[in-house]
């Protein structure tokens, strides 16, 4: 095993050494000198006013992709002015073939066609920047850039203004950015970092003003500089955006159910706002937020016991989320552990944890989500490099209403809860050293204390240090958690899927039913090379290696996201990236990864090796393929807390192709297969997407996926009591999943769009050949199980009964595990930004999850379309109006 690992690493190093290394020439930092505006500018996209003549054109762009260092196909010039309220930017994008300029429309932040972009490091911290992108069609895009360009957050949506114009020399653009939308210090004369990038769509070419080698692994820290900003006043940004929402729901009525008469109505109002405390610190708040226009989550069903992760889609939580992002690992190698977060905002306002006690004949009106009474964020960065993020949110008590023949009562299903997150980071040595910390807390009132923690606190410290011009780095963190509650709640935590203190043979843990608190720790240390010298064809070697761990008692799921504990993971990634065009390639890369895992008892759990390669061709097609060898796998979770079980070894392969995304039609097929070496396991995933853009204003995308999961014998079914012990019952499973996704976007103007999203989904696992686990760690697969004989197991009334000792009396039973799950989610949204920051939404949302669990014999596609489009859907019609008052 170690020899193979060594040979793979040597092959990578040999690849690097075959090319002579050349030193990057010293690149000077360019400067542009602006002046205060005298006169007036009419924002029409044509920089013809006399006021623009106060400054010179900046230019001399250089190609960044695909031929780094060459002159661009078309040159670009710019000018920058300012006054007490705005920053003004003019572009002159020369083009010898104006008829070839691509003017595609899209939603905001989708960056269609030809565009030009400015990144502004107004903090001048060499790490963060505000990005403003203007397409020739007038579509605006904006992002907050952090981690020296390694993180781009498109959910930042400032107010700014822009226009474009096409003429016989190419195209021009004018931007007017309110200074209140930027963050900066109070120096009388300021120096800001900035970079300008142009995309020439038809050649898929990027040219930049300030040369930055791709091999450097840097971005913001190498920006050019904007000088001449003098005596800019403090702008106390104040934005207030009240909203009103009216909603009508129509659905199939349920006879006798007073809560399901077929029609529900709702009228609500709230307010969002921003208030600048200083030039660089801002307070965001929301009262009774409404998320009715948010796109529905994709359907997900897992049978392995792990929880699902859903992306945050709600505007209040996604804006400025980079400040609160705290991954426990975040490795380049990747892995399940990379999903773990100290703060997972979807916990706020999630579905209620409780469910009322209901007798036969009673009906329940159950709230789907926990209402957020209010939330506030305080965030920003001081002149001395201190980043601050504070978030506080309160969710209200939620009650289910129960009707018993006309008599109604209420039962608590979610207590009043307060969520708090505090995050600090401090830059030293020009951002080459960063030290930070985080603290989170959840506090609940009494009410469901039998299974919810009264208090949950977590926190951590982290550091990042670069050296050798940010080529090398070391980073790490240490985290802790403490949860407090009743004996019942803490016992439930100890025995939960993430911990499994009751597992036989787990000498590293002790189940204690008297505990009223639980404290755990975790952490990561990573060391790597992010850039460096590049060779003749732009090849650069990068790598990262590290260890990440979670103690058995670590508990983060009150406000964070954590898949499992009791793990020590080692990971290594190394790659050679060819960043300049050569031969038939625009760029290419080859990577190696390996992973190892142990538990806190010292038991070796997992080993895997991976090689993958990716390339973009000169015709702009992309492809990639990879092979993963998994020779050893033991799961502490698979049997839900009885014993650890060895899983099949195997090998996996992936392949994808993406045709030229600039074309009116492009496709993207991909395939993944994993095979057990002795046919104990087979996983197949097939995906195909098709995107069609018949006109600049219309884009349609269709995607379909099929997944097949086969496990010969080791899929968990149930744990049952037998002879003063526990039998872990497993079986063969064949699970098929089909998903279709359709999207349509029609842009009437850059500020008026029509969007449709729809996704029918079905999954169906079918079980057979039941057995119980007899020797879970046996080397031979078949030795791990004792399969029931036909005279030992019988089926009746959705129950399997087992007569293990053959005395004619069933010893135990378990429910039939097969099921059929169908879901359809869709919405149609008309969004009109009738004034900068002010919007009108018209929404039609449709969703159905029919009760078809017993439909196990009809063909999968037939079951999907018969049930996803039946008359049981719930139709929601919503109108939302917002108006943003801006000071």
216: domain CATH number? Answer: 2.60.40.1190
Q: How far apart are CA 58 and CA 71, in angstroms?
A: 16
Domain count within the chain: 2
Q: What is the CB-side half-sphere exposure of residue 585 using CA atoms within 13 A? A: 17
| 90 and 18 together in one domain | no
Q: How many CA atoms lie within 13 A of 119 on its CB side?
A: 28
Query: Residue 439 contacts by C-beta under 8 Å, 6 or more apart in sequence?
Result: 420, 421, 422, 457, 458, 459
100 and 17 assigned to the same domain:
no
Q: Note whether residue 287 is domain-resident.
A: no
Closest alpha carbon to 147 in 470, 388, 391, 469? 470
Q: Residue 396 is part of which domain span? A: 1-28+305-622
**160 and 191 inside one domain:** yes
Looking at residue 174, its pLDDT comes to 98
Judgement on whether residues 89 and 3 belong to the same structural domain of the protein: no
User: What SS3 class is residue 488?
Assistant: helix
Host H or E run for residue 13: helix 2-17
pLDDT at position 14: 39
Same domain, 176 and 226: yes
Q: How far apart are the first and last CA of the chain?
A: 65
Q: Which of 204, 230, 256 is the last residue of a domain?
A: 230
Q: Examine the domain organization and report whether 204 and 338 are in the same domain.
A: no
Residue 664: per-residue pLDDT = 95
Q: Which residues contact 421 (CB under 8 A, 6 or more apart)?
A: 324, 343, 389, 390, 391, 438, 439, 440, 559
867: alpha, beta or left, given left = phi > 0 and alpha = psi -120 to 50? alpha
- Domain identity same for 314 and 182: no
User: Which of 230, 257, 287 is where one domain is finished?
Assistant: 230
Residues 348 and 409 in one domain: yes
Determine, yes or no, domain membership for 405.
Answer: yes
pLDDT confidence of residue 237: 80
454 vs 442: CA distance, rounded Å: 8
- Residue 859 exposed, middle or buried by CB count within 10 Å (0-12, 13-18, 19+): exposed
Q: What is the pLDDT of residue 426?
A: 94
Tokens of residue 333, six digits: 């190698």
Tokens of residue 447, six digits: 């009410």
Residue 21: per-residue pLDDT: 37
Contact 827, 875 (CB under 8 A): no
Report residues of the chain scoring pLDDT below 70: 1-26
Q: How many whole angstroms separate alpha carbon 141 and alpha carbon 119?
A: 12
Predicted local distance difference test score (pLDDT) of residue 11: 41
DSSP bridge partners of 459: 439, 480
**724 lies in a domain?**
no
- Are 8 and 87 within one domain? no
Specify if 426 maps to a domain.
yes
Q: Are 23 and 139 contained in the same domain?
A: no
Tell me if 694 is assigned to some domain. no
Q: Tell me whether residue 738 is in a domain.
A: no
Q: Are residues 456 and 590 in the same domain?
A: yes
DSSP state of 57: P
| Bridge partners for 426 per DSSP | 386, 435
The total of other beta-carbon atoms located within 10 Å of residue 783's CB is: 12
Would 791 be classed as within a structural domain? no
Q: What's the CA angle centered on 792, arms 789 and 794, to 5 degrees?
A: 110
Structure tokens at 777: 């760690």
Closest CA relative to residue 452, chosen from 421, 490, 416, 420: 490
Domain boundary among the residues 197, 214, 230 is at 230
**Domain for residue 582, yes or no?**
yes
Q: What 3-state DSSP class applies to 215?
A: helix
Record the pTM. 0.91
Which residue shows structure tokens 């968990």?
A: 716
Q: Are residues 221 and 352 in the same domain?
A: no
């Amino acid at each position: 095993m170690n020899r193979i690992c060594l040979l793979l690493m040597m092959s990578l190093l040999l690849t690097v050494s075959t090319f002579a290394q050349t030193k990057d020439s010293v690149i000077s930092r360019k400067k542009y000198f602006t002046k205060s505006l005298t006169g007036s500018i009419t924002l029409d996209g044509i920089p013809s006013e006399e006021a623009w003549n106060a400054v010179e054109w900046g230019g001399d762009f250089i190609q960044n992709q695909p031929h780094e260092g060459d002159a661009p196909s078309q040159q670009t010039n710019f000018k920058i002015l300012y006054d007490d309220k705005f920053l003004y930017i003019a572009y002159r994008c020369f083009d010898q073939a104006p008829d070839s300029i691509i003017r595609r429309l899209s939603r905001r932040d989708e960056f269609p066609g030809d565009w030009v972009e400015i990144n502004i490091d107004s903090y001048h911290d060499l790490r963060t920047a505000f990005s403003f992108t203007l397409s020739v069609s007038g579509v605006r895009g904006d992002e907050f850039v952090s981690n020296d360009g390694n993180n781009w957050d498109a959910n930042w949506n400032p107010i700014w203004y822009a226009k474009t114009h096409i003429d016989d020399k190419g195209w021009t653009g004018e931007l007017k950015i309110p200074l209140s939308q930027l963050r900066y210090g109070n120096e009388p004369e300021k120096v800001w970092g900035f970079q300008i990038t142009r995309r020439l769509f038809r050649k898929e070419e990027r040219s930049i003003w300030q040369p930055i080698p791709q091999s450097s692994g840097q971005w913001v820290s190498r920006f050019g500089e904007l000088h001449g900003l003098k005596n800019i006043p403090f702008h106390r940004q104040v934005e207030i955006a009240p909203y009103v929402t009216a909603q009508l729901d129509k659905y199939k009525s349920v006879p006798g159910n007073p809560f399901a008469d077929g029609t529900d109505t709702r009228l609500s109002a709230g307010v969002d706002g921003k208030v600048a405390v200083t030039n660089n610190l801002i307070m965001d708040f929301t009262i009774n937020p409404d998320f009715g226009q948010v796109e529905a989550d994709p359907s997900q069903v897992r049978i392995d016991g792990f929880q699902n992760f859903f992306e945050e889609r709600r505007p209040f939580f996604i804006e400025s989320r980079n400040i609160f992002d705290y991954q426990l690992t975040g490795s380049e190698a990747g892995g399940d552990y990379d999903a773990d977060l100290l703060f997972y905002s979807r916990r706020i306002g999630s579905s209620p944890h409780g469910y009322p006690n209901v007798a036969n004949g009673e009906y329940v009106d159950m709230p789907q989500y926990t209402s957020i009474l209010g939330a506030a964020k305080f965030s920003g960065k001081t002149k001395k490099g201190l980043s601050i993020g504070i978030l506080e949110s309160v969710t209200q008590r939620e009650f289910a209403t129960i009707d018993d023949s006309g008599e109604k009562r209420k039962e608590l299903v979610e207590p009043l809860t307060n969520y708090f997150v505090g995050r600090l980071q401090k830059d030293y040595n020009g951002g080459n050293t960063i030290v930070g910390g985080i603290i989170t807390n959840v506090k609940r009132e009494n009410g469901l204390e039998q299974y919810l923690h009264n208090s949950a606190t977590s926190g951590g410290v982290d550091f990042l240090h670069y050296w050798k011009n940010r080529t090398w780095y070391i980073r790490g963190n240490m985290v802790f958690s403490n949860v407090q509650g009743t004996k019942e709640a803490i016992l439930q935590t100890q025995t939960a899927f993430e911990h499994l203190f009751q597992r036989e043979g787990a000498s590293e843990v002790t189940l204690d039913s008297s505990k009223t608190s639980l404290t755990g720790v975790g952490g990561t240390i990573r060391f790597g090379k992010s850039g460096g010298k590049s060779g003749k064809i732009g090849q650069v070697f990068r790598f990262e290696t590290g260890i990440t761990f979670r103690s058995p008692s670590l508990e983060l799921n009150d406000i964070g996201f954590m898949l499992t504990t009791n793990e020590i993971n080692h990971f290594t990634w190394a790659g050679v990236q060819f960043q300049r065009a050569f031969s038939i390639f625009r760029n290419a890369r080859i990577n190696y990864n390996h992973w190892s895992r142990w538990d806190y008892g010292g038991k070796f759990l997992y080993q895997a090796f991976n090689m993958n390669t990716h390339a973009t061709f000169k015709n702009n097609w992309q492809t990639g393929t990879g092979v993963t060898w998994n020779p050893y796998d033991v799961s502490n979770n698979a049997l839900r807390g009885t014993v650890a079980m060895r899983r099949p070894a195997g090998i996996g392969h992936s392949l994808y192709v993406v045709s030229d995304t600039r074309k009116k039609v492009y496709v993207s097929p991909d395939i993944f297969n994993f095979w057990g070496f002795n046919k104990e396991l087979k996983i197949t995933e097939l995906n195909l997407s098709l995107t069609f853009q018949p006109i600049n204003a219309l884009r349609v995308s269709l995607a379909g996926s099929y997944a097949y999961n086969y496990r010969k014998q080791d899929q968990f079914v149930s744990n049952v009591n037998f002879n003063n012990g526990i039998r872990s019952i497993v079986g063969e499973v064949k699970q098929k999943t089909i998903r279709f996704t359709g999207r349509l976007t029609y842009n009437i103007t850059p500020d008026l769009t029509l969007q449709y999203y729809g996704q029918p989904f079905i999954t169906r696992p079918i079980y057979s050949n039941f057995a119980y686990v007899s020797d879970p760690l046996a080397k031979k697969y078949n030795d791990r199980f004792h399969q029931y004989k036909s005279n030992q197991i019988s089926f009746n009334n959705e129950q399997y009964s087992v007569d293990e000792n053959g005395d004619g009396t069933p010893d135990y039973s378990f429910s039939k595990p097969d099921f059929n799950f169908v879901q359809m989610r869709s919405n149609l949204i008309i969004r009109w930004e009738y004034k900068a920051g002010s919007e009108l939404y018209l929404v039609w949302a449709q969703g159905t999850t029919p009760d078809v669990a017993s439909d196990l014999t009809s063909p999968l596609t037939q079951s999907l379309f018969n049930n996803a489009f039946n008359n049981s859907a719930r139709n929601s019609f919503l109108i939302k109006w917002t108006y943003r008052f801006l000071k």
